Amino acid sequence: VKRLNSLSKTDTLTGIANRLSFQEMLAAGISSAARHNRKLALLYIDLDKFKDVNDSLGHGFGDQVLYQVARRLAEVIRTEDLVARLGGDEFALLLNDIVDPMSASAVAEKVLRALSAPFEYQSNQVTVSASLGIAIGDGRMSASRTFEAADMAMYEAKKRGRNQYCYFDGNM
């Protein structure tokens, strides 16, 4: 039972948390932030034009890139934070207990730098970029609303030209 529970919360391709696990951790994080008057940051990450990678180099290569993206994302966060693959080429970072909401910018910049290095597999090489949306959770918005806010901010980053990050604001 314990193994099944673990498998149900892990992305089989990358070995990191999956959408279900992420949603549970986000809900717990929002609840904790509200109780302790703290903040968290949710970074929603979508790889730009990833379909082109799969179309030109095949799904095997694309899967290897997704695996490597997960490894690189795990390297830019603290141990108390969470990296998850939400599905396809979408990832999320949950930065728990942040002091300054703008500190998420530093992590977003690390993500963009980490992903800018070429990915290699079977003598092929490709570069990818990502668009990131950032939402700050402090307990005033529900977990699902915080997730939607980060998603909206990510689409705004794509609209502004991709390979960048954007914070959610109420005007979106």
Answer whether 116's CB lies under 8 Å from 123's CB: no
Please pick, among 52, 89, 138, 169, the residue that the annotation labels catalytic: 89
Answer whether 65's CB lies under 8 Å from 128's CB: yes
CA distance 113 to 107: 10
Annotation says 89 is catalytic: yes
Rg of the chain in Å (alpha carbons)? 16
| Cβ-Cβ contacts under 8 Å for 66 (sequence gap 6 or more) | 13, 14, 85, 89
| Cβ-Cβ contacts under 8 Å for 86 (sequence gap 6 or more) | 18, 19, 22, 44, 92
Instruction: Specify the residue for token string 């939402």.
Output: 135
Six-digit token string for 32? 């904790």
Answer whether 88's CB lies under 8 Å from 97's CB: no
The residues annotated with a catalytic role in the active site are: 89
